[in-house]
Homo-oligomer: A and B are copies of this chain.
Amino acid sequence: MTFEEPETRVQRYLHQYIPLSAAMGVQVRTATVGHVQLAAPLAPNVNHTETVFGGSAAALATLSAWTLLHLRLEHVGLDARLVIQRSSMEYEKPIPGDFEAVCRFNDDFVWEKFQATLARRGRARMTLRAHLVHLAQRVASFEGDFVALR
């Protein structure tokens, strides 16, 4: 058995089960329980002004947060369905090229509470934040509420 990088495994999962991620050319740069970073090229995500289409920007940010929570649930062996309930995007700057979505989470207190609520009630909600980066500059912010259902 050959060792497979988690990034390779997650990218294959995304492309297979969320085909839009393949159409967007999403590449998984980092995939850990505390940090997910996804990249996408401009070409398949461009709009009429040669910048990134807002829908693509929102989709990449959503994917990064969903992936982080998915990895966390998988890591603790929780078999829960994960759905998004609400999200918001602030488009801070136009994105005239390739871009990345970064989602970080390392709040142990919130995570323990989330797990306890999921165990007790069969469902739990968590808010995750992500941001988009172009040429090392922050260009958009995302916030999403996700619900896990056992």
**A interface residues with partner B (beta carbon < 8 Å):** 13, 17-20, 23-24, 43-49, 53-56, 58-60, 62-63, 66, 81, 83-91, 94, 144
- Bound together, the chains give a CA A47 to CA B84 distance in angstroms of 12
Contacts of A81 in B (CB 8 A): 49
Contacts of A56 in B (CB 8 A): 20, 59
Contacts of A59 in B (CB 8 A): 53-56, 58-59
14 additional A-B residue pairs with CB within 8 Å, beyond A18-B55, A53-B62, A58-B59: A19-B44, A20-B20, A49-B83, A53-B59, A54-B59, A54-B87, A55-B58, A55-B63, A58-B87, A58-B89, A84-B91, A86-B90, A87-B89, A88-B88
Residue of B nearest to A49 (CB): B81
| Least Cβ–Cβ distance between A124 and chain B, in angstroms | 16
